[in-house]
A and B are shown apart, each in its own frame.
Chain A
Amino acid sequence: MRDVAVVGFSQSPSMRREPNRNEVEILVPVITELKKNAGIANDQVDFVCSGSSDYLAGQAFAFVSSLDAVGAWPPVSESHVEMDGAWALYEAWVKMQMGYADIALVYGFGKPSMGDLPLTMALQLDPYTMMPLWPDAVSLAALQARVLLDGGHVTEREMAERAVRDRKHAKSNPFAQLKGDFEVEKLLAAPHLASPLRKHDCAPISDGASAILLAAGDKAKQLCKRPAWITGIAHILEPMELGVRDLTRSRSTEMAAQKAGVWRDKVDAAELSAPFTHQEILVERALGLSSKTHVNPSGGALAGNPMMAVGLSRIGEAAGQVWRGTADRAVAHATSGPCLQQNLVCVLEGK
């Protein structure tokens, strides 16, 4: 395996609604800052890969315009995934393992405020048997939460505790959207949004973008004092049909964690992108995190949820823990699909 590290990360603030700027205009300062901080020029980047969703934009091939933010003339070697940018990072990592690139630029962006996000996400379901019923994303997550509560797997209090913890951590994150000191009792006194979920159980809807710079071997050492080396990365997919899955655990996260080698050593910090409190509990359990792990130091997805960038941002935040020396070993998680259908786990280490 080639040694590949995260050597740069930048992000826009998560905002409920970005009224003036379009996606490219949100992205340009993010990518400009990334290249400036790393001190690299366009011609040093061997591969560019992005993650976004044309459904959010409501336009076919909307992602192509985002290349304006990169500088794609003369032409660049480029690819795109209709997924969170974390999967774009995976593609770039594979490309680097194959020796096709030494430096790669990865980015993700989304402006879900243009449409109705929970409804738009119904379009990722089975088109014959599920989508015509328009099950929105919050209602589906609520069904999963009900299974967990009725089965005695989690309590509403445990769920509220995740919201309190993440919003508290987010106080030190200038890019977070939801932050502050909250009390479990008060959160639990709020009415249900989609029973048993309350507003605090749901990640906010955020417009935003983030970008990561990957580098291999000596180039990583030149670009970063303490690179965050990717020592394991894996993603696993569960079936689309919710009825055949075990919704009380995240099997795909467990398998990805095992493949990525999460349990080979201690985990100092973990950044999770579960968009609902009960899902965050499932991911914590699937990753086998102990009380010694600092979970979501940035606040995680529950504090800021830029669609198609939130998972990539978790990898960036986890890498930041390694660069700053607050963690020797950090784990990042990204998810996609309804009720934690697909999960990616990335282990980052300072050596």
Chain B
Amino acid sequence: MSEAPKTEGPVEIQLAPIELAYTYSAGQSATRFLRAIAEGKLLGQRCPVDGRVYFPTRGSCPQHGVVIDGEPVVLKDVGTLVTYSIVRVPSPNIPLQLPYIAAQILLDGANTILMHLLNCKVEDVHMGMRVKALWKPREEWTTSVANIIYFEPTGEPDAPYETYKEHI
């Protein structure tokens, strides 16, 4: 110890380590989603009130406060870039070089936005871009959204503004 402990003045440090163990389960809805993504499937679920498709699946509709218990909707791994940020701050565990693109993606057939990464030249990125998921090799799939490494442009023509404007 470089400094002798203080014996006078206010006590400013007291060590009281707290260690509590918790056993979680993801819940029925998230379990269904995660089991599916481990098989390479993207599951959404439809609100019984207005038919909006939530992605990922969830047990209830936060807009109407109703149970969502119908059959899930299988979505394709393609969608539209709704908005984005070019990030120049390094962050651990991001599989892209700086600057990278944090993306808000509307999967085809979904009504909620997915947040993910986009691998694209920063001078090319723009709203309405059509994008597709790049998956890890199949043998590395687990119950994780990180089975998708990032999204990439498909090169298709841009989606019309009307198809995603409600998410801007």
Contact = CB atoms under 8 A, between A and B. Distances in A.
B62 A29 contact: no
B62 A28 contact: no
B interface, how many residues as a size bin? 20 to 34
Interface in A54-80: 57-58, 67-74
Interface string A113-152: 1111001100100011001100000000000000000000
Given A28-B67, A57-B22, A127-B16, 15 more contacts: A20-B25, A20-B31, A21-B28, A25-B27, A28-B60, A28-B65, A29-B67, A32-B65, A68-B58, A68-B60, A71-B61, A73-B62, A113-B23, A115-B23, A132-B16
B168 interface: no
A70 B25 CA distance: 22
Given A25-B29, A25-B59, A31 B22 contact: no
Contact of B64 (A71, A116, A132): A71
A24 interface: yes
Nearest to A27: B60
B67 A71 contact: no
A22 B22 contact: no
A71 B62 contact: yes
Nearest to A123: B18
B22 A115 contact: yes
A19 interface: yes
B21 interface: yes
Contacts of A29: 67
A222 interface: no
B27 A21 contact: yes
Interface in A7-61: 19-22, 24-25, 28-29, 31-32, 35, 42, 57-58
Interface of A: 19-22, 24-25, 28-29, 31-32, 35, 42, 57-58, 67-74, 113-116, 119-120, 123, 127-128, 131-132
B20 interface: yes
Contact of B60 (A69, A123, A128): A69
A105 to B, nearest CB: 10
B63 interface: yes
Interface of B: 14, 16, 18, 20-31, 58-67
Contacts of B29: 25
A70 B65 contact: yes
Given A29-B67, A71-B62, A22 B27 contact: yes
Contacts of B26: 22
Most buried by A among B28, B30, B60, B62: B60
A70 B67 CA distance: 10
B92 to A, nearest CB: 21
Contacts of B60: 24-25, 28, 68-69
A55 B31 CA distance: 23
